[in-house]
Amino acid sequence: MDEISSLAKSLMVLDDKLASCMKCGFCQAFCPVFDTTGKEGDVTRGKIALVENLAHLIIQDPEAVNEKLSRCLLCGGCQFSCPSGVPTLEIFMEARAIVTAYLGLSPVKKAIFRKLLPNPRVVDTLLRAGSPFQKLLLKDEQNPQKTACAPLLKSLFGDRHMPLLSDKPLRSKVGKVDRPAGKSGLRVAFFPGCMGDKIYTGVSEACLKVFEHHGVGVFLSDNFACCGIPALVSGDREGVEKMIEHNLGILSRTHFDYIVTPCSSCTMTIKEYWPEMSRNLPASVQETAKKFGAKAIDINAFLVDVLGVHPEGPAKGGLKVTYHESCHLKKSLGVSKQPRELINMNKNCELVEMVEPDRCCGCGGSFTLTHYDISQRIGQKKRDSIVATGADVVATGCPACMMQLSDMLARNGDRARVRHTIELYADTL
């Protein structure tokens, strides 16, 4: 009875958010999935119609409902462009949580979201044990993207071109950092994110280099857990809550002015979803999540808007750089000009804009795992836009986008390298 009551309450909350959708179809022009498949069920308007009948359909065929809801990148393009301001991201995440609660979480996801990701020490131990074997399972391709294929695991990964795990995670390379504010008078809590800790450690090291250069004090824990977005998009509230509580416990023990991340998905999750997903936790936790959420800021925005890093003008160097807008960075956080400012700080670069720089690359986190065929087709369009610029480098502000772009470029044998904007700026210091 309690479960039915909880389900009814969740559906009522959804009803209030659905009321503003006029079914105008304007979202069709901004949905990369619909643009690829042409199916009405894949566009926002179609999914909202599905959610409106969720109470009936979830009982009739919950697996089908789950599949249709999963065919969304959660890129936010529809919400960003909606003339009625419909909170589509909130609606779809809420709907996924309802369906997950009804169906139950798979044992594998339950183990990952509730046991592994909230316990970074356990994750580190497993990765440390498995890291030596990646060279046996992965075929290093020796390409500009530094990716590898897994022919022995083709049934699991297909023909993806994947980045290798770093030889050492960031927390093993630099350990815990607890440095006071310098000439800037500011101190930040640096949250590298999972990919910044385990794969793109060079991005995180570039951030630390930049902080030191500008006299910014840094707190970096060697025990941060995942921000929670993988569990969030899978509808696992319990897993998200565990990760939030773990990270808040660490952050509550120190002082800082901002939480800075090089991952737009982490920034968005901390800023918007930690407060939202803490509503069932104790009042003190809710208040802390709200306070820290207000302090979350992307590394590009921190440097330009807070520290005042600005170029004298457009750089005209020999290296052609094009910029891909991360969906969460532009559409959720409103950060668009700042990454370009950092690129122009590098006098060895020349910024060349691609067509539709804010068009989604097709990653969408778990979307690329569950719907790789659609993800690949969306990614191929982005790759074509990159190559058409003749760029030597494609820069972006999101590690997940870096992974997707590397896959697409490597698949086509392209020479363009993928780098984070903070790396290009750090090169100048």
Do 191 and 317 fall within a single domain? no
Give yes or no: residues 315 and 410 share one domain.
yes
Domain boundary among 79, 104, 129: 104
Predicted pLDDT at 148? 79
Same domain, residue pair 265 and 242: yes
Q: What is the pLDDT along the chain (429 residues), one digit of tens a residue?
A: 444 455 556 666 677 777 788 888 888 888 999 889 988 888 888 888 887 777 677 778 888 888 888 888 888 888 888 888 888 888 888 888 888 888 888 899 999 999 999 999 888 888 777 666 666 666 666 778 888 777 666 666 677 888 888 888 998 899 999 999 999 999 999 999 999 999 999 999 999 999 999 999 999 999 999 999 999 999 899 999 999 999 999 999 999 999 999 999 999 999 999 999 998 899 999 999 999 999 999 999 999 999 999 998 888 888 999 999 999 999 999 999 999 999 999 999 999 999 999 999 999 888 888 888 999 999 999 999 999 999 999 999 999 999 999 999 999 999 999 999 999 999 999
Do 259 and 332 share a structural domain? no
The partner residues of 419 in beta bridges, in order of sequence, read: 395
- The residue among 75, 104, 133 that closes a domain is 104
Q: Tokens 């068009």 label which residue?
A: 359
85's torsion region: left (phi>0), alpha (psi -120 to 50) or beta? left
- In eight-state DSSP terms, residue 339 is H
Strands 162-163 and 349-351, by their bridges, are unpaired
Return the closest-CA partner of residue 43 out of 56, 30, 54.
Answer: 30
Query: Are 232 and 285 part of one and the same domain?
Result: yes
Whether residue 69 sits in one domain with residue 177:
no
Co-location of 317 and 386 in the same domain: yes
Contact 30, 77 (CB under 8 A): yes
Residues 6+ apart with CB under 8 A from 417: 144, 145, 392, 393, 394
- Domain end, chosen from 245, 276, 305, is at 305
pTM above 0.75, yes or no: yes
In the three-class reduction of DSSP (H, G, I as helix; E, B as strand; rest coil), residue 260 is classed as: strand
341 inside domain: yes
Please list, in sequence order, all residues whose beta carbon lies within 8 angstroms of the beta carbon of residue 334, skipping any fewer than 6 positions away.
none
198 and 273 co-located in one domain: yes
The encoded tokens of residue 50 equal: 């599905």
Q: How many domains does the chain have?
A: 3
Phi, psi of 4 (to 5 degrees): -65, -40
Domain that holds residue 267: 170-305
As given in the structure block, the two tokens for residue 270 are 């901390």
Residues 233 and 262 in one domain: yes
- The count of C-alpha atoms lying within 13 angstroms of the C-alpha of 237, restricted to the half-sphere facing its C-beta, is 19
Specify the CATH number for the domain of residue 354.
3.40.50.1860
Residue 265 CA: distances (Å) to CA of 76, 167, 214, 216: 12, 24, 25, 23
What CATH number did the domain enclosing 71 receive? 1.10.1060.10
3-state helix, strand, coil in the chain (%, to 5): 55, 10, 35
Contact 161, 139 (CB under 8 A): no
Q: Identify whether residues 289 and 315 lie together within a single domain.
A: no
